[in-house]
Amino acid sequence: MLLDFDYFFAQCEELRNPSLRDKPVVIGVYSGRTEDSGAVSTANYLARHYGVKSGIPLFLAKKRLENVDSVFLPVDYEYYEEISDRIMQVLNSHADVFEQVGVDEAYLDVTKKTQGSFEKAGELATTLKQLVKNQVGVIFSVGIGPNKLLAKIACDVNKPDGLTTVKPEEVESFLNPLPVDRLIGVGRKISQKMSDLSIRTIGDLSRCDVQRLVAIFGKTLGVYFHNASNGVDNEPVKETGQAESISRIATLKQNTRDLALISEKAGVLIGDIHRELLQNDLNYRQIGVIAVLSDLTIRNRSQTLEQPTNSVETLRDEVRLLFDKLLNEETSEARRIGVKVSQLSKNDKNQRQLTSYLQN
Ligand code: TTP
Ligand code: CA
């Protein structure tokens, strides 16, 4: 699911000062050259009724709101980030994988948590809306779909405070009637070019031959437009701020080829790595070892497991096997050794908590 906070900067200002709620509110980036020079950062929905939106010049916004009891405020990023952090914290613990995008959007992969059920995902979204409203006071819109592309487009069709679900069997009928510019990457220029080719809806685009799209837009964009218009998107939700790997390296007391000595040193590194895995609720799937040899050349060996795990025993056993293999294939002594775990993923232990939360 994609969560997008509604009219975010303006909503933050309303939160700080509820008396703004029944007035058009415009947040501006003032360039400082003259009193009204600059652009609109965002506006609340009341202001949008008067044609005020992100990107238009402030003087134009003033003109559109002439004789209307409205409020113009300068951006206060620090405050918006503070609110954003609080919301993200609430959301973070409710996903299998959580990816923050910018200040006011987040993708939540909830496939495992909901056992792939779109109904359960909808219930979870409703729960999250309630939690964030109670704990922070902010509303947002949600799109739920079989992939990021559909979640994003679904989120945009109903704002503010919307919740739109597109199930796999609904993808075609959902996408086909939408204008092409709903797809990320279709801006004014490209949408004009498509219109010249009589491609106006996503359905029109999906019926275009991929070779033709490649000939017109180039390989990358052409293939992307073909896939996107057919609802195909394989981008995984990527954990925000999550390390790609955790590794430790140390120098041996003396250069050696003795597996027992190397394993002993590796044991210390493994202890550190394991602690960090537990602290961050992470599993690993790939294990790597590195050895800096006495001639200072570097050697690596790695092993991928069938399943992610956080087991310290598995890590110890695999590291020993890898160093054994490495020593057998080299003739020099090791001088420094390192251990690394990668292909990290979030541990599932929140799943049970959430399931019981939904049932209560
Ligand atoms: P958006 O999510 O695009 O807009 P929004 O949250 O204001 O409104 P919506 O209800 O449609 O989601 O952008 C998030 C914030 O980024 C927005 O509050 C202000 C800022 N922003 C700009 O400063 N300039 C811009 O041109 C845009 C589009 C956004
Ligand atoms: Ca937003």
How would you write the pLDDT of the chain (360 residues) with one tens digit per residue? 999 999 999 999 999 999 999 999 999 999 888 888 999 999 999 999 999 999 999 999 999 999 999 999 999 999 999 999 999 999 988 999 999 998 999 999 999 999 999 999 999 999 999 999 999 999 999 999 999 999 999 999 999 999 999 999 999 999 999 999 999 999 999 999 999 999 999 999 999 999 999 999 999 999 999 999 999 999 999 887 767 789 999 999 999 999 999 999 999 999 999 999 998 888 999 999 999 999 999 999 999 999 999 999 999 999 999 999 999 999 999 999 999 999 888 776 544 333 334 433
Ligand 1 atom with the shortest distance to the CA of 104: 14
Listing from the earlier edge strand, what are the strands of the sheet with 38-43? 38-43, 25-30, 71-74
Q: Nearest CA to 293 among 249, 332, 339, 253?
A: 332
Determine how many CB atoms are found less than 10 A away from the CB of residue 323. Answer: 22
Closest ligand relative to 42 C-alpha: 1
> What tokens were used for 28?
């501006």
The backbone torsions φ and ψ at residue 302, rounded to the nearest 5 degrees and listed phi first, read: -145, 165
Q: Where are the alpha helices (DSSP H) in 25-147?
A: 45-48, 58-64, 77-92, 118-135
Ion ligand 2: residue ranges with CB closer than 5 A: 4-5, 8, 104
C-alpha 6 – ligand 2 centre gap (Å): 4
C-alpha 271 – ligand 1 centre gap (Å): 45
Residues recognised as catalytic: 105
- Contacts of residue 192, Cβ cutoff 8 Å, sequence gap at least 6: none
Does any ligand 1 atom lie closer than 6 A to the CB of residue 55? yes
